[in-house]
Amino acid sequence: MTNSVPRLINNFIHGKQVIPSTSKYLPVHSPIDSSIIASVALSSKADVDDAVQSAQTAFHSWSALTTKSRAAILLKFHALVKDNSHELAQLIVQENGKNFTEALADVAKGNETVEYACSMPQLCQGKTLRVSSAVTCEDRRDALGVVASIVPFNFPFMVPMWTMPIALVMGNTIVLKPSEKVPLTMYRTAELLKEAGVPDGVVNLVQGGREAVESLIDHPDVRAVTFVGSSPIAKLVSDRCHSLHKRCTALGGAKNHLVALEDCDIPDTARDVVVSAFGCAGQRCMAASVLLTTKKGDGGSQQELLGAIMAKAKSVERGTGPGQLGPVIDEHSFNKITTYIEEAEKSGAKILMDGRSWNNSEPESSGGNWIGPTIIQHSSASDAAMMEEIFGPV
């Protein structure tokens, strides 16, 4: 672990570490070998109240700045992220299990949104329109206040940046609830925001689980909520926010299908299918987890394409180096993924490539959550693995 991130991950409120009122912590396990790499605070409603109060207090002076002034601070943050991209990527590898190239891309894509947010002084300009001799309409963008952002484990830097930089440049303050599975990256990010000149209280981190999430959503001073996670939880968050008449953006999962026509370029298609299905260990909502092939004119199947995909998948190596396939996030995910494979096998589907053989088959993977590329040939469209998001390299 880098020296700049403590092994004890507390809340980050008003620009400093704050011990949770519960004095309780959760272990943070490395998906690579299941070792405990840190302990993260388990926050209560009282901790959420403190964070929201800090954000509410900071809102008045932060929103009083010009959009240009706020963007200038975020531009400094953008430069700091570039300067510290390797450190952030190393944290992502350690706590998430991505390979280093994927982790660098996580940081780079997140920083693209920071760069976009720095353009807000031009993009958010209002307008006036004289609609009649005595009536003028004005269109302007006003800051809401405290915005809560609840983010998942699969992209520890990129996904928080979907909300944070834009909300900040527009004059809002933030209370972020990182995933308790990957708290290290965002803690270091909060330090970089402070270094860039973001005033204390403008960005706050509350660690923890369900109590922290529900307390954030229910807090009367939280004006808007953004959430990224599984579809069932996204629906719960959306319904809860709407019952409180709060603005909410809740993004869930997906089941993505590819269709390969009989005249497809086999080498290119095989490469793209493997990269999409197995990149980031399949733990992304854009992973292509189902491939549909059309029959050839002679009625035969596309065995040549299937063979090319299997050959490409077999060349994938286990590990966190460039081009390698890392582990899935935790034991719960591992068990969920292997259950889908087992159920498909019981239903009569053919397991053409079985990634379960990766787990504990070599000393360096002992204790980690390793699943290799898995290819299942289904005969029924009603199989669960055909319809439900697996979130793994299947």
Per residue in 224-282, pLDDT (tens digit) is 999 999 999 999 999 999 999 999 999 999 999 999 998 999 999 999 999 999 999 99
226 contact partners, CB below 8 Å, separation of at least 6: 147, 148, 149, 150, 162, 163, 248, 249, 250
What's CA 296's distance to the chain center, in Å? 39
Measured in residues, the chain has a length of 394
Q: pLDDT for 303-356, tens place per residue? A: 899 999 999 999 999 999 999 999 999 999 999 999 999 999 999 999 999 999
Q: Residue 74's CB: how many other CB atoms inside 10 A?
A: 23
- The pLDDT of residue 295 is 77
Q: Kindly tell me if the per-residue pLDDT of 365 is higher than 50.
A: no
Pairing of strands 127-132, 135-139: antiparallel
Q: Which residue has the higher pLDDT, 364 or 193?
A: 193
Centre a 10 Å sphere on the Cβ of residue 63 and count the other Cβ atoms it contains: 17
State the Cα–Cα distance between residues 218 and 70, nearest whole angstrom.
Answer: 28
Average pLDDT, the chain: 94
The tokens describing 313, both together, are 């998948």
Question: Residues of the chain with pLDDT > 70: what percent?
Answer: 95
Instruction: Just list the catalytic residues.
Output: 285
Q: Which residues contact 104 (CB under 8 A, 6 or more apart)?
A: 85, 86, 89
Distance CA 373, CA 9 (A): 33
